[in-house]
Structure 1
Amino acid sequence: MDRIAITGGAQLNGTIPVSGAKNSAIKLMAASLLTDEPLRLTNMPRLADTRFLGKLLTRLGVQVTESDGPDGQQTILHAPEITSGFAPYDLVRQMRASFNVLGPLVARSGQAKVSLPGGCTIGARPVDLHLQALEALGAKIDLHEGYVYAQAPRGLKGAEISFPIVSVGATEHAMLAAVLADGVTVIHNAACEPELADLQDCLNAMGAKVEGAGTPTITITGVARLQGATHAVIPDRIEMGTYAVAAAMAGGEVRLTNARPGLIDALLDKLKEAGAGVEPTADGVIIRRNGHRLESVDVETAPFPGFATDLQAQFMALMTTANGESRIRETIFENRFMHAPELMRLGADISVAGGEARVRGVERLEGAEVMATDLRASVSLVIAGLVARGETTVSRIYHLDRGFERLEEKLGACGAQVRRLKGDGEAEL
């Protein structure tokens, strides 16, 4: 099993291009099930998660072609017909977002059998809201032996959908199903993350009629069919925020390009409060820190536009060497401090009680062997390793490969001493 080794102490200086957003790309790929014409997605990241979903879509009848096009990395998805409505457990379990094929399958072909995604290391994350949305649209839902059987032989019908709590995945799923429903669907208490607006833009380019994504109320007027389209995936705000934190942690000056700093204003405000330099540019942002120690600041995760839960682990790593004590409150997931014990193996002073972590900054971290517990936690350990004395080795980095494209290459181009170790412990050439 591969590992990543980081030798700490090098500043970061250079340019890092931000890839397309993983969390957006995988939902846009699912949209290909809604039309018999090709959907061309540009600015596509090449990740374990996109490969997992590509395998599942291929099983369902989608022709998936990856290439380098005139706009950079692209994926063309073409489903002239749905050859199977069955999404088995062995594929869905690899990435819970695969569950979102259920709505498009029912919307287009009237039926589907999709595995429940199973547990998640960062919390329960149930799919009951997804199923309630589909039932509101007229689908008949049966649960049996770990599978969801959904049927709407006469098609889905527009409906009022009111979510009791904000859910990004359920909002996206409802959108994907409702675009082919007969009539008008209104989604209340919708998630407002920028990935929702990206999905809306793509669906509308395909001929859908969706309004309001990015606000708490989304209105969808169903259409009889969708067509092919070309759509550019938005920049990955979590990758952008991660490299911004890495630059603040290691010191130096890093220019992030192909980025939209407005998507991470909450993080950038906290970086400035801690003492890092933040300078927006025409195509991204510059992060700099030259010599001085950062100050501790408190953060609390919240739905967009608040501080993203997917940046919480990275920011905790930053605070481990800041001056003073910071409090980090996690309000989105109930089990998302599993990275804290691993940071403590590097010498961090952290105590966790319920949904709050207290981080008391130390003068120096020490390299050690640590283990990734989930996608975002894995990169927080890499960030800490950038300043830890000696060598830090992060194992179980298959988590990291799910959401960060060419991480070693991007950090290495800015001067970081980071390399991937093959399963036998030898460095890859």
Structure 2
Amino acid sequence: MTTLLQDSSRAGASVGLKGDRITIRGGRPLRGRIEVKGAKNLVTKAMVAALLGETPSVLRDVPDISDVRVVRGLLEVHGVKVTPGDEEGTLLLDPSAVESAHMADIDAHAGSSRIPILFCGPLLHRLGEAFIPDLGGCRIGDRPIDYHLEVLRQFGAVVEKLPSGIRMTAPNGLSGTKVELPYPSVGATEQVLLTAVRAAGITELRGAAIEPEIMDLINILQKMGAIISVDTDRVIRIEGVDRLEGYTHRALFDRNETASWAAAALATDGDIFVGGARQAEMLTFLNVFRKVGGKFEIHDDGIRFYHPGTPLRPVVIETDVHPGFMTDWQQPLVVALTKAEGVSIVHETVYEQRFGFVDALVDMGATIQIHKECLGGQACRFGQRNFNHSAVISGPSKLHGADIVVPDLRGGFSHLIAALSAEGSSTVSNVGIISRGYEKFITKLEQLGADFVLEG
């Protein structure tokens, strides 16, 4: 039986680090150049898309992060041959020998990623069945898979819930359908795209997410032979085809990592050149960065972010789906806003549990209050539901060193920024989580002149 099994108990395990704790002596500006590769939120989905091709695919600018290693392991236990290319960050993915996998093999590779749900459509097309377990990931909000399962049912999948997980079959194949999302979910949009391209007939998706990573996935699928049109009203139409070929593609740069290093430059009075970053996909972030008082320079090969030496200004931010201000940008920027002179407001409308990371900032001396009300913007879907989803940050605050335990990916990097900007020493534990989405972040801290010791 085709299986995709993961062990959620390994969530947060250290990957790719000699130690899982770092002691940082703060107060030193970060200065220098670092490079960003392909976006975590695109690369892992592009690797799954390779399952749909009848010939090998070539993916460039793949970051060395644990989520990529998880997907690579899942592909390999299903018979996909994954080998490095001649160029650093290049993977060759050959799906010509796709086969069923054993539960024990997948259990050893899957880790805590939520990516297995996106394997279902491609595996149903290739093998006629799939199996998934309970899904892990960062605990920042409610991410039910029920809607994914309902979408797969609409395509014709038969879904059977078992004690060991969820088994799916497609006895009559998959057929196009009409799907309307209640919210522009990135994951649900990816699910529809990866399933619809080989489904018989036409699929119409309304209320789709249109993030740059989604558009880049569409670019990949079109290269493979898919027929996909995108309207301006969040409607995507996919005409299913009988066969897809492999692709050759250079992944879109990681916007979230870029914004994180930009926020680090602000918080530490630093000057960081992010090689590989582009202006077009960072437009909304750059506007807010400028309003806060940060400076930036656009170059052909990247963007320079720096603190100009003048006081930072408070802002009001409301996170939203693209083209709004990304939820993954607000956490690192909140650290920089503790340095602004005045009161800033951040209204989180994408994930309802994304302010847990501020407890550590308060322990370090920040003045941050969390509220259930929708502050600083229009009422959102979390209003009147007792979710703590608005933050009021009063500054400037002098942060001091503390002992911190990383809670999730973006919150964890935000804690690193806080420790780097604080007076005195901080010990940050469970930093292995950060490896899920930030390639070689320890090496990059060294390149930027951070003062730290990585411990076991």
Q: Aligned pair 1:391/2:425, yes or no?
A: yes
Alignment-derived partner of residue 311 in structure 1:
329
How far apart, in 2, do the equivalents of 1:13 and 1:312 lie? 22
5 Å-filtered alignment, 1:163-182, equals 163-182=181-200
Indicate yes or no: 2:107 matched with 1:73.
no
Aligned-residue RMSD, C-alpha: 1.9
Give the TM-score normalised by structure 2.
0.88
Query: Relative to 1, partners in 2 of residues 1:92 and 1:127: Cα closer, same or farther, differing over 3 Å?
Result: farther
Q: Deviations along 1:292-336, whole A, 9 cap, x unmatched?
A: 221121211100111111112101111112111111111111111
How far is 1:148 from its partner? 2.0
For 1:305 and 1:167, the matched residues in 2 are separated by 13
The answer as to 2:132 corresponding to 1:114 is yes
Q: Which amino acid aligns with 2:284?
A: A
Distance 1:55 1:197 in 2: 26
- 1:241 aligned residue: 259
Partner of residue 271, structure 2: 253
Change (3 A) 1:416 1:120: closer
Unaligned runs of 5+ in 1: 424-429
Distance 1:363 1:220 in 2: 51
Equivalent pair of 1:299/1:328 in contact (CA under 8 Å): yes
- Superposed displacement of residue 120, structure 1: 4.8
CA distance in structure 2 between the aligned counterparts of 1:215 and 1:38, rounded to whole angstroms: 34
Alpha-carbon distance between aligned partners in 2 of 1:75 and 1:244, rounded to the nearest angstrom: 28
Q: Which moved more, 1:168-177 or 1:220-229?
A: 220-229
Deviation per CA, 1:205-263: give whole Å up to 9, x if none: 11222221886111111111111221111100000111111111112322222112222
Partner SS for 2:83:
strand
Conservation of the 8 A alpha-carbon contact between 1:7 and 1:390:
yes
1:367 aligns with 2:406: no
Q: TM-score, normalised by structure 1?
A: 0.93
**Equivalents in 2 of 1:306, 1:420: separation in Å?**
36
Q: Which residue of 2 aligns with 1:161?
A: 179
Distance 2:135 2:352 in 1: 18
Cα deviation, 1:357-403, whole Å, max 9, x if unaligned, reads 11111441111111110000000011112210111221111210100
- Paired position in structure 2 for 1:298: 316
How far does the alpha carbon of each residue in 1:171-196 deviate from its partner, in whole angstroms, 9 at most, with x for none? 10110011111111111111011111
Residue 351 of structure 2 corresponds to residue 333 of structure 1: yes
**1:165–1:196 distance in 2 versus 1, CA, 3 Å:** same
Deviations 1:266-291 (A, max 9, x none): 22211111111122222322212132
Contact 2:121 2:194 in 1 (8 A): yes
SS in structure 2 at match of 1:190: coil
Aligned partner of 1:339: which letter? Answer: F
Mean CA deviation greater in 48-57 or 118-127 = 118-127
Contact persistence 1:92–1:99 (CA under 8 A): no
Percent identity over the alignment?
36
Secondary structure at the aligned position of 2:249 is classed as strand
| Cα contact 1:97–1:169 (8 A) shared by 2 | no
Q: How far apart, CA to CA, are the structure 1 residues paired with 2:54 and 2:98?
A: 9
Tell me the distance in 1 between the aligned counterparts of 2:418 and 2:233. 36
The corresponding residue for 2:302 is: 284
The one-letter code matched in structure 2 to 1:398 is: G
Any runs of at least 4 consecutive aligned residues in structure 1 with deviations exceeding 3 A, and if so which? 85-93
Q: Which shows bigger deviation, 212-221 or 108-117?
A: 212-221
Which residue pairs with 1:426 in the alignment? none
Structure 2 residue ranges without an equivalent (≥5): 1-18, 372-387
User: 2:138·2:408 contact (CA, 8 Å) conserved in 1?
Assistant: no
Matches within 5 A, 1:175-194: 175-194=193-212
2:244 aligned with 1:210: no
